[in-house]
Amino acid sequence: MSLVKLTIKGISYSQTQNGAYALILNEVDGERKLPIVIGAFEAQSIAIALEKEIKPPRPLTHDLFKSFADRFDIVVKQVIIHKLVDGVFYSSIICERDKIEEIIDARTSDAIALALRFSAPIFTYKNILDKAGIYLNANPSETENNEDEGVLSTPETFGLESDDEKSNDGYNKFSLSELHEFLEIAVQDEDYEKAARIRDEISKRES
């Protein structure tokens, strides 16, 4: 399976769930976006790492991990979002110490927060992006006036949710064609958190 490199486009506040954010990852050599719902703490940590000028008075958890790793000559080489199951993304942190490589399982939000601090690249597999990626401005005639770039602020992430929590959105009541229509509307409205939830329901149906 081929790897696809991702960059962080930004973070947007959830309009439907208090304390939740949507981290938007962007395909480097393409137009697809990968929205991932994350919690407030992870969103703050990622936002601080993006804003190089911001230095918290005391180290955050991810800053502490970076200091610990530096002290013992551990380097994060890359992060890979390697699996998507029922709307939950699974990631691995590829580390190296004394030329010995180790793979550590991690939540995607934590993995990305650390990748930023180590200036490590973020990847996912093509089949995951094919399944969960969202095209923006797919129809230029309808969205040519949509200023997509710069819409998001530089703060956001992925909260692990149960299937029961997802079903509360009520999307399981609609047909696939209706879900695809809802997804298009959510993307046009730049409600990436809602788009991620609808996409997850579609992925569950089509898997």
Q: In this predicted structure, what is the pLDDT of residue 120? A: 97
Task: Name the residue among 89, 156, 81 with its Cα closest to residue 121.
Answer: 81
Q: In this predicted structure, what is the pLDDT of residue 192? A: 64
User: Residues of the chain whose pLDDT is less than 70?
Assistant: 14-19, 53-54, 136-169, 190, 192-193, 207
pTM: 0.70
Reading phi first (left if > 0) and then psi (alpha if -120 to 50, else beta), residue 142 is in alpha
Task: Name the residue among 40, 97, 27, 42 with its Cα closest to residue 69.
Answer: 97
What would you measure as the largest C-alpha separation in the chain, in angstroms?
Answer: 54
- Strand partners for 22: 12, 37
pLDDT digits (tens, 9 = 90+) for 134-154: 886 544 334 333 333 333 333
**Amino acid at the residue 157:** T
